[in-house]
Structure 1
Amino acid sequence: MRKWTPLTAICVGAFMLLVDASIVNTALPEMSEDLHSTFTALQWVVDVYALTLAALLMAFGSLGDRLGHRRLYLAGLAVFGLASLACALAPDAGTLIAARAAQGTGGAAMMTSTTALLNATYQGRDRGTAFGVWGAVNGAAAAAGPVLGGLLTQQLGWRSIFLVNLPIAALAGWLTLRRLAADPARPARPAGRFDLPGATAFTLFAAALTYGLIESGGRGWSDPLVLTALAGAALALAAFTTVELRTDHPLLDLRLLRNPTFTGLAAAGLLLTAAAFAQLTYTGLWLQQVLHLGPLNAGLAVCPLAAAAFVTAPAGTRLLRGAPARLPIALGLALIGGGTLLLTLVSPGSGWASLLPGLLVVGTGVGLATPQMMSAALATVPRERAGTASGAFNTARQLGYALGIAVLGTVFQHGLRGRGPADPRHAYATALDQVYLTAGAAGLLAAALIALLVRSPATPATPATPAPTVPAPVEERSPQPS
């Protein structure tokens, strides 16, 4: 049907940018050999994408409200496509890392526009259906990256993982131009100037915090570089708060945090990403370094999570239509927590099939919670601020993933050191148990926050600004056991 063509345009672009968060992981060894660079250096090909996304989402959300979300989405597609071509042609690791940063810039512009476009394009039941499909695409993209990366690298070489973006970006752009309603010639814009000081301070905060958390996994929390980055993040956050409280037209209206519904949804969104996806990095290490699965098979082993999310998101939206928003969100988060705890079935003698029950339950929870969480969060803000809201929630999700990677990385390394290198199967099983227990507790905490703070129906907030979105799990650099 023609009315769903705009949804297709939005979801094609969203799937592409979310898959690219993790598609490079399985290609890193071949990249290292071809570009004559160390594997550790090329891990920044993954890290810089996550950092750029987290740093720019808030600023692009506000710009979208002013310039038009369709315009920003098209610009993001163009930048993403050109950056993908630069990645494919990169002659060395430095060029590749810079091109990935450009990809993250285009991805941030696209990501913050997708939910605002859905919110403006569809009404009533169609809006619920659109968010359900969009949530399913998010869930599918979560684990599809490693599989697609392994398949393309194995068959066509690592450069193909970037070249495949060119026709996809072109298709999404063509559909957007043909079927998505144009922005008004003079879009309704928030009064006043763009909050450049606030955007700069927040970008510095997000970049420094993400960098510090990423580096802490390998360097340790006491490393001078990590401490400097975290101190810089604290200073930038203080500056951001000061600017936002004093400006008449802030990037983020901090009064919105007085709304317990929004606060609960934002905190739960942060914890959802950490609980559901951060542990996949360490699960992948176990699959490849202990079970000796190839990149493609290791990616396929975690696919049940994506499959369950893809099926559950539209079905849950349809079956639970009319129910209070906190019911599917809290239930989904509880399933994420419980499913992650089920992953503790991994033992020294386990095979990949021991992951299946837990991954299916986690994927079901992701499919239930993700679209409902976004819809409920957007209901807390006026429509003209939807882009700012989307950027704020996506930023929380990205920072939540970075925090999850850092914290779980510390837990993982502690578990490995406790067993020593002589017995790797027992060491990995012990380390993964601790990782899964920590992530499971985060999921259950998120469910409790929703039950305590979110009230239905969500009422639009007077101050208007932030609201949630479903970002992509972005795989950060994994600590390598000694």
Structure 2
Amino acid sequence: MRKWIPLTAICVGAFMLLVDASIVNTALPEMSEDLHSTFTALQWVVDVYALTLAALLMAFGSLGDRLGHRRLYLAGLAVFGLASLACALAPDAATLITARAAQGLGGAAMMTSTTALLNAAYQGRDRGTAFGVWGAVNGAAAAAGPVLGGLLTEQFGWRSIFLVNLPIAAVAAWLTVRHLTADRPRPAEAADRSGAAAGRPGPAVDRPRAAAGHFDLPGAATFTLFAAALTYGLIESGERGWSDPLVAATLIAAALALAAFTTVELRTARPLLDLRLLRNPAFVGLAAAGLLLTAAAFAQLTYTGLWLQQVLHLSPLNAGLAVCPLAAAAFLTAPAGSRLLRGAPPRLPIALGLALIGGGTLLLILVSPAAGWTALLPGLLATGVGVGLATPPMMAAALAAVPRERAGMASGAFNTARQLGLALGIAVLGTVFQNTLREHPGTDPRHAYAAALDHVYLTAGAAGLLAAALVVLLVRRPAPAASAPVPQPSVTREPSGQPS
């Protein structure tokens, strides 16, 4: 069984980085009390991790082709482990937020390397098995995050949710050094040829070739600035209000950064993102739907968790268990839906799943001042079924909508949209949540939280239904077979309980 040790090395790291996307949710109340942090600071503890992942995925995908994916994976493990230690030792909220951003940096380096490492380590039937196991690990990580976070917080305190990463990262690094063969950095042209297989950005084939090793640093910098400024402005608007000068200046900076990114990508010979992909209605619709899916299905869980602990006074563990039906339903529905709808046009399960996400999130409005945690069950189950239906075929449809030679770039852009959806969703829903609470000063907490959650669920539900409408309107027909990429196992590897 030694041949499966490389798979273990990759899965251990993947499990760790995906768990950390949701493990903090059930620890937020204890963190807040211990660090005397504001609501906005709590948002940043959750959001800065997803934001850093989203901002750096495309850039690190390009770097991995040039520096070597094993080297990048090991560097990501090291950064993630050290950042986890910094999180555990954080004396205040600002330090914790900074360390969480560093975790996201390490996680982005790891996430972009895993598919390439699996492709290199296995061939034929073993490769399919390896990707299937990796997909199951992703789903398990998404389901385990809230429960594991609740268990550790309840038994050992919130700092333990970060300390547990240290031995995990050490084991993953040791297995990687011992059992994963080092890949050689490739010149730019070779990286382009492998982009589709590895699922990372590559250039448009008809653009002029740049020198080997070229990296689109201006594009990476302007996109990162855009994502960070937009998220910052949205989060701060909840506390400061839309008319605050800092909020306005930050949102203007985001618009300018987006304009600069567009200009850079149009002029560079080897862009992170060939903007001509955005002329493809099907790809644009699927990327937008991926962004809205994570915003609708998962961002609201942060505020649901606060209600469970701060209003219903559930323990961290019980609060984690209360939201598990979503991940469990998604995990069970994904393989069953793929079998039942095999041969159907991809937009059918995607649109149906997104509609269920929208409808399921709207069902969460059953939460009332007198409600208990069981009021969440219908909405969480419906949302989970929708995630299980929509997620597996979404990546395949996105890649099939573009020519084969642009599959790597399309994959990077799609995954970036998914992660950015979580970051922006947490920011927008947090603003909605705070504004509603502000409208109910002096109100009984149960009534105030119920009203705030109503607005959160209405916003998230509308996002899910909008995503379904975009798929129905824009994803009209599959791409011709000649230009469709061979579906990669990454189709079934999408986390069924959260964005990665």
TM-score by length of 2: 0.82
User: For each residue in 1:152-196, what CA deviation from the matched residue of structure 2 results, as whole angstroms up to 9, or x when unmatched?
Assistant: 122123332112112322333345456656535636224422111
Cα distance in structure 2, aligned partners of 1:313 and 1:133 = 14
Looking at structure 1, the residues matched to 57 and 128 of structure 2 have their Cα atoms a distance apart, in angstroms, of 24
Give runs of aligned pairs for residues 349-368 of structure 1, distance below 5 A. 349-368=370-389
Match of 2:478 in 1: 456
Contact 2:401–2:479 (8 Å) recurs in 1? no
Tell me, yes or no, if the aligned pair for 1:381 and 1:460 is still in contact at 8 Å.
no
Q: 2:73: which partner in 1?
A: 73
Of stretches 305-314 and 135-144 in structure 1, the one that deviates more from structure 2 is 135-144
- Equivalent-residue separation in structure 2 for 1:457 and 1:229 (angstroms): 39
- Counterparts of residues 210-249 of structure 1 (less than 5 Å): 210-249=231-270
Whether the 8 Å contact between 2:287 and 2:417 is mirrored in structure 1 is yes
Aligned to 1:38: 37
- Partners of 1:121 and 1:458 in 2: how far apart? 31
- 1:166 is aligned to 166
Q: Is 1:287 the equivalent of 2:289?
A: no
Distance 1:237 1:396, change over 3 A: same
C-alpha spacing 1:109/1:317, structure 2 compared with 1 (3 Å):
farther
Q: Is the 8 A contact 1:259 1:461 kept in 2?
A: no
2:272 counterpart SS class: coil
Aligned-partner Cα distance in 1 for 2:397–2:288: 14
Q: How many angstroms apart in 1 are the aligned matches of 2:231 and 2:498?
A: 14
Cα distance in structure 2, aligned partners of 1:132 and 1:91: 41
Whole-angstrom CA distance in 2 between matches of 1:474 and 1:215: 23
| Superposed CA RMSD | 3.4
Instruction: Trace 1:418-433 onto structure 2 (pairs within 5 A).
Output: 418=439, 420-433=441-454
Change (3 A) 1:360 1:11: farther
Residue in 2 aligned with 1:83?
A: 83
Partners of 1:38 and 1:162 lie apart in 2 by 18
Change (3 A) 1:97 1:413: closer
Offset of residue 250 of structure 1: 1.2
C-alpha deviation, 1:202, in angstroms: 1.1
**Aligned position for 2:223:** 202
Which amino acid is 1:234 matched to?
Answer: A
CA distance in 2 between partners of 1:32 and 1:439 (Å):
25
Question: CA distance change for structure 1 residues 272 and 326 in 2, over 3 Å: closer, same or farther?
Answer: same
Counterpart residue identity of residue 456, structure 2: V
What is the alpha-carbon distance in structure 2 between the residues aligned to residue 38 and residue 438 of structure 1?
Answer: 26
User: Aligned partners of 1:59, 1:213: CA distance in 2, in Å?
Assistant: 24
Equivalent-residue separation in structure 1 for 2:125 and 2:349 (angstroms): 17
- How far does residue 37 in structure 1 lie from its aligned partner after superposition? 4.8
Distance apart, 1:403 and its partner CA: 2.7
Q: Distance in 2 between matches of 1:63 and 1:71?
A: 11
| Shift of residue 132, structure 1, vs aligned partner | 6.0
Q: Quick one: which amino acid aligns to residue 189 of structure 1? A: A
The aligned amino acid for 1:305 is L
Aligned to 2:49: 49
Match of 1:393 among 414, 427, 437: 414
Contact 2:65–2:186 (CA under 8 A) maintained in structure 1:
no
Q: Once the two structures are superposed, what CA deviation does each residue of 1:330-374 show, in whole Å capped at 9, x if it has no partner?
A: 222122112112212222322111111111111122122223222
Q: 1:4 to 1:340 in 2, by over 3 A?
A: farther
| 2:221 aligned partner, one-letter code | T
Q: CA deviation at 1:214?
A: 2.0
Looking at structure 2, the residues matched to 452 and 211 of structure 1 have their Cα atoms a distance apart, in angstroms, of 32
Q: Which moved more, 1:38-47 or 1:442-451?
A: 38-47
For structure 2, the residue ranges without an aligned partner over 5 or more in a row are 193-208, 485-489
Distance change (3 Å), C-alpha of 1:322 and 1:149: same
What SS does the aligned partner of 2:447 have? helix
* One-letter code aligned to 1:23: I
Check conservation: 1:152, 1:158, Cα contact below 8 A: yes
Letter in 1 for 2:261: F
CA distance in structure 1 between the partners assigned to 2:276 and 2:7 by the alignment: 33
How big is the shift at 1:427?
3.4
Q: C-alpha separation between the residues in 2 aligned to 1:354 and 1:237?
A: 41
Q: 2:191 aligns with which of 181, 189, 201?
A: 189
Deviation at 1:71, TM superposition (A): 3.2
1:54–1:395 contact (8 Å) kept in structure 2:
yes
The residue number in structure 2 matching 1:479 is: none
Aligned residue type for 2:74: L
Whether contact under 8 Å (1:13, 1:110) holds in the other structure is: yes
2-side partners of 1:172 and 1:296: how far apart? 27
Give distance in 1, aligned partners of 2:389 and 2:254. Answer: 33
Structure 2 letter corresponding to 1:429: A
